[in-house]
């Protein structure tokens, strides 16, 4: 893959100014799709369910029904070490209970 020069990039930005609103929306969808696919390829391997969800989102995005494709956020497996945050004063749970009254 060839990297675009600064001059070429400036020319591209200048060309964007001449686009119609519909062309800008189409360009935005293409760029978001490209970013999502490049982000997905840089992540660790996805499960079959995650891949199916990404494909469904891609199809909805291409149909114009989604404004963006969300990347998967993995749920904690519980193997990470939990480190509680230390706060001064009364326990947060007591503060919440008092404030709800």
Q: What total number of domains does the chain contain?
A: 1
Confidence at 79, pLDDT banded by 50, 70, 90 = low
Query: By residue range, what is the domain housing residue 16?
Result: 6-100
Confidence at residue 84, expressed as pLDDT on a 0 to 100 scale: 78
Whether residue 1 lies inside any domain: the answer is no
Whether residue 67 lies inside any domain: the answer is yes
| Crossing angle of helices 21-42 and 48-62, rounded to 10° | 170
Residues 6+ apart with CB under 8 A from 68: 32, 36, 61
Confidence at residue 55, expressed as pLDDT on a 0 to 100 scale: 85
Question: pTM of the entire structure?
Answer: 0.38
């Amino acid at each position: 893959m060839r990297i675009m020069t600064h001059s070429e990039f400036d020319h591209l930005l200048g060309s964007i100014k001449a686009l119609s609103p519909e062309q800008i929306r189409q360009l935005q969808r293409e760029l978001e799709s490209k970013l999502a696919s490049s982000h997905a390829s840089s992540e660790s391997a996805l499960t079959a369910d995650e891949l199916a969800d990404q494909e469904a989102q891609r199809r909805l995005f291409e149909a114009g029904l989604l404004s963006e494709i969300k990347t998967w956020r993995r749920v904690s497996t519980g193997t990470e070490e939990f480190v509680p945050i230390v706060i001064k004063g009364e326990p947060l749970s007591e503060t919440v209970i008092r404030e709800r009254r």
